[in-house]
Amino acid sequence: MSLTLYGSIPSPYVRRIRILLHDVDFHFEVIDLMNNEDQVKLLKISPVRRIPILKDQDTIIYDSRQIYNYLAKKLSLKALTIHQENLLTFIDEVNDSLVSVRLLNSSGFNDIQNTFMRNQYKRIKDTLRFFEKEITLFELDESDYVQVCLFCLLDWIAYRELVSLEEFKNLENFRNSFSSFERTKKNSPRL
């Protein structure tokens, strides 16, 4: 298999693709977003400098959802339904809000009363509350891509200590169960 995945180890967007490719032979090209040389390497492949990026011979794909859709065809996986796409959009929204909050915090903007910050935290909490209920409808399935993405988000939140998950008991149970699968253990950001 001629697949190369470019990405960092802690990124939840990258981890979902690594989990998806659990049974597939691929090259993982580590990009440390904090490293200047890696930033130069990244700029050579993408002007927007976001990861994950997948390269399959002459084909290059720049977004995790597009990567899923590409791999679903290539590997004969199930296409996502509209409902699954919607759940994925909710997961991505929380992920993006947390990436923004983290960047602002590391740039010294810690004022959580600021309108932008307040809006991000509202979105994050309300969507986690939504999934706290929604998850009761899921049957645990390590090959379900939506569950994979939700797990990557929750485990990244826990790893980076971004938001307390204490009030989300169902989500915490889900995260613990998912952590025990072989396909999630080997790409933990804690390794």
Ligand X SMILES: N[C@@H](CCC(=O)N[C@@H](CS)C(=O)NCC(=O)O)C(=O)O
Chain contacts with ligand X (rule: CB under 6 A): 11, 13, 33, 49-52, 63-65, 92, 99
Q: How far apart are CA 11 and CA 184, in angstroms?
A: 13
Closer residue to ligand X, CB minimum distance, 22 or 65: 65
Query: What's the rounded Cα separation, in Å, for the pair 106 and 178?
Result: 30
CB of 25 to ligand X, least distance (A): 22
Nearest-approach distance from CB 49 to ligand X, in angstroms: 6
φ, ψ (nearest 5 deg) of residue 141 = -150, 110
In the complex, what is the shortest distance from the CB of residue 65 to ligand X, in angstroms, rounded to a whole number? 6
Cα 89 to Cα 111: distance, rounded to the nearest angstrom? 27
Phi then psi dihedrals of residue 23, to 5 deg: -95, 10
Give yes or no for a cis peptide into 189 (omega within 30° of 0).
no
Cβ distance to ligand X smaller for residue 46 or 177: 46
Please, what is the minimum distance in Å from the beta carbon of residue 58 to ligand X? Answer: 20
Residue closer to ligand X, measured from CB, 93 or 170: 93
In the numeric block, which tokens belong to residue 74? 């290539």
Q: Which is nearer to ligand X, 50 or 183 (CB)?
A: 50
